[in-house]
Amino acid sequence: MTGAGRVALIVLDGVGIGAAPDAESYGDAGSDTLGNVARSVGGLDLPYLESLGLGCCRPLAGMRCSAPQAAHGVALPLSAGKDSTTGHWELCGVVLERPSPTYPEGFPSDVIAAFSEATGRGVLGNETASGTAIIEEYGARHIERGDWIVYTSADSVFQIAAHEEVVPLEELYAACRTARESVLVGENAVSRVIARPFVGEVGAFRRTPNRRDFSLAPPSETLLDRLAAAGVPRRGVGKVDDLFAGRSIESRHAAGNAEALRYVADALGEMERGMVFANVIEFDQEWGHRNDPAGFYRGLRELDGLLPALVGMLRQGDLMILTADHGNDPTTESTDHSREMVPVLVVGPGVQPVALGARPTFADVGATVAEYFAVELDAGTSFLGQVAPWMN
């Protein structure tokens, strides 16, 4: 039965489950996204995720570990870094030995000058900041002068904010492509250039769903490349195409979690065989970065209500893997990603609900998908034989 069915790999962006062993070296000691959210709301009430075994991955307030229906465990980050690109690449078998460059004091003056000259607009900001805070600070001047708002974070990102009524979206996207291809190269090759459009009036700005990520291409072949070479169909949901620079994946972008999961359902309804690869973004973008544990919990409750129908679409031989790419603890002072372990839940008809333990790298997930479709991956150790022994 190897490779005959579908695998849905669903990445819950930012949903970490406890500090990684090296978290302190990243400034993230004590970060525990799910654990701290659970404590902050007086315990998690997530009956379906509890039935799958989320509370068996690691102890969580309010969650029992009793007769789990899914294989369950955690995976530790092995790559250097803690951003979405690094996490997704590692899930797909690319382990980075060195982190991409970061700019806690802002970008060098020559980088900003080159970007300004290439795009024909001035630059405001150039600092480490929250995305919502910086458009409030510089939005009025941006509207008046038409300058870009440039900012970064603890991650390797060059973010460009612009009001959609001041700068047309296509011009913003073109500026991002210019920055990606001719400015942020060499020693300044950040992981992602991100378009951050917003709308509204002074005092009431709001970001729109028209965000676009312009990533570096992975430095070596990924799971997606190997599947493409083997003729295995691949369907993306959310920003996964951006994270892999569009290589070996096309994606249907979604404004929020519910829409992303609906697109996963659409893909499962249309595919007889292949991989659905989804990024579910709101935990990170809307609640983690904005230090909103109550919103984070509401998102978990929504997810808990939507998953049963999605899992119900799986056929004999199918797998669904729920995991994450990093943490984003909304209860800490930081508004940045956190270096954390991630949960791993594997469900499907006939899946053995075994304990997977602490996997030493996210790449074990990719290796499992690779073995399912009978392709090779250069990193990670498959656990397919543990969760689906009937496939051997």
Q: Which tens digits make up the pLDDT trace of 80-121? A: 999 999 999 999 999 999 888 999 999 999 999 999 999 999
Segments making up each domain of the chain, as ranges: 6-100+216-391, 109-211
Q: How far apart are CA 209 and CA 288, in angstroms?
A: 17
Instruction: Name 234's bridge partners.
Output: 275
Q: At 154, is the pLDDT very low, low, confident or very high (cuts 50, 70, 90)?
A: confident
Residue 25 CB: number of other CB atoms within 10 A?
10
Q: What angle do CA 48, 383, 358 make, to 5 degrees?
A: 70
Compute φ and ψ for 324, nearest 5 degrees: -150, 175
Q: Is 6-100+216-391 in CATH node 3.40.720.10?
A: yes
Strands (E), 108-156: 123-128, 148-152
Q: Which tens digits make up the pLDDT trace of 7-66? A: 999 999 999 999 999 999 999 999 999 999 999 999 999 999 999 999 999 999 999 999
Count how many Cα atoms sit within 13 Å of the Cα of residue 148 in the half-sphere of its side chain. Answer: 29
Give the pLDDT confidence score for residue 8 in this predicted structure.
Answer: 98
The token pair that represents 282 in the structure block:
């709101």
Q: How would you classify the pairing of strands 274-280 and 148-152?
A: unpaired
Q: What angle do CA 272, 307, 46 make, to 5 degrees?
A: 160
> Over 80: is that where the pLDDT of 372 sits?
yes
> Over 90: is that where the pLDDT of 197 sits?
yes
Residue 272 CB: number of other CB atoms within 10 A?
9
Q: How far apart are CA 39 and CA 59, in angstroms?
A: 11
Give the pLDDT confidence score for residue 4 in this predicted structure.
Answer: 81
Could you tell me how many residues make up the chain? 392
> Over 90: is that where the pLDDT of 287 sits?
yes
Q: Which tens digits make up the pLDDT trace of 253-262? A: 999 999 999 9
Q: Is 109-211 in CATH node 3.40.50.300?
A: no
Q: How far apart are CA 227 and CA 222, in angstroms?
A: 9
Stretch 74-80: mean pLDDT, rounded?
97
Stretch 73-82: mean pLDDT, rounded?
96
Q: Are 322 and 343 in contact (CB under 8 A)?
A: yes
Give the pLDDT confidence score for residue 275 in this predicted structure.
Answer: 98
> Over 60: is that where the pLDDT of 385 sits?
yes
The token pair that represents 243 in the structure block:
């994270």
> Over 60: is that where the pLDDT of 235 sits?
yes
Give the pLDDT confidence score for residue 1 in this predicted structure.
Answer: 53
Instruction: Calculate what percentage of the chain has a pLDDT beyond 70.
Output: 99
Give the pLDDT confidence score for residue 2 in this predicted structure.
Answer: 63
**CA-derived radius of gyration, the chain:** 20
User: Residue 181 has what DSSP assignment?
Assistant: I
Q: How far apart are CA 8 and CA 281, in angstroms?
A: 16
Q: How far apart are CA 316 and CA 189, in angstroms?
A: 44
The mean of the pLDDT values for the chain is 96
Q: Which tens digits make up the pLDDT trace of 320-341? A: 999 999 999 999 999 899 999 9
